[in-house]
Amino acid sequence: MLDAIRHAITGLADRLAETPATFHWLRKLPEANYRETKRRISQVRDELAARFPRSEPTASGEPRSLRVLDLGCGTAEYAELFDPARYLGVDIHPGYIAFAQRRRPAHRFVVADVRSWTGEAERFDLVMVNGVLHHLDDQGVAEFLATAKGLTKPGGTLLVIEDVDLADPPLGTRLVHLLDHGDHIRDAARWETLVSAASPIARSETYVSGICPYHLMVCPQP
């Protein structure tokens, strides 16, 4: 009986995940509007931007902003944190990209499978992988991170944020993870092992966004 209930719940979650607008607005509730995640991404953004001379101009004469790649951007919840002219969101799901483009018409988006995507001629200052890897097995994670690292400029930062399995999660967290579309939510130690195999981790932390626990790893590139 319990397995049947679990199967019914996960089936419903899978159907909801296929509807970008429904997924986008419903997910904001347990995430408390992603406030804690946005604060941490903004901190990484600002720390990286501080490394560049403020006087360094772009071709248009404006102060330089980070060139940002959001891999597996989904509905592009975090695009608002970045300069639209210097942001690129990539996702395999055409419906999610269409939804993101309608919400953020000034930003740029591409439909692609990151593991086979060749990228662009210019690499990126900040490459963000947020809530993607728990959909992949270990080999898929290695392939995805290899692509992400290759798209990051020397001196740039690879930022990885993933749903994390806690030793004794509260009921609300268990329910969110049960409803999650991904089948590979790992504990913090396992995430660090997988990510550090691709790139050294300079800073990591586990935090809670609403009732959703995450593990964040900051990987500066030499």
Average per-residue pLDDT in the chain?
83
User: Is 40 within 8 Å of 33 (Cβ atoms)?
Assistant: no
Look at residue 25 in the predicted model and tell me its pLDDT: 52
Look at residue 218 in the predicted model and tell me its pLDDT: 98
Q: Which residue has the higher pLDDT, 204 or 135?
A: 204
Q: What confidence tens digit (pLDDT) does each residue in 23-36 have? A: 655 666 667 678 99
CATH architecture of 2-220: 3-Layer(aba) Sandwich (3.40)
**pTM (2 decimals)?**
0.82
Does the pLDDT value for residue 22 go beyond 90? no
Report the alpha-carbon distance of residue 76 to residue 26 in Å, rounded.
Answer: 15
Residue ranges of domains in the chain:
2-220
Q: What confidence tens digit (pLDDT) does each residue in 102-157 have? A: 999 999 999 999 888 888 888 999 999 999 999 899 999 999 999 999 999 999 99
What value does the mean pLDDT take over residues 165-179? 61
Look at residue 122 in the predicted model and tell me its pLDDT: 87
Does the pLDDT value for residue 57 go beyond 80? no
Q: Phi and psi at residue 97, in whole multiples of 5°?
A: -65, -40
Report the alpha-carbon distance of residue 112 to residue 56 in Å, rounded.
Answer: 32
What value does the mean pLDDT take over residues 8-19? 50
Dmax over CA atoms of the chain, in Å, equals 65
In the numeric block, the tokens 């200052």 are attached to: 125
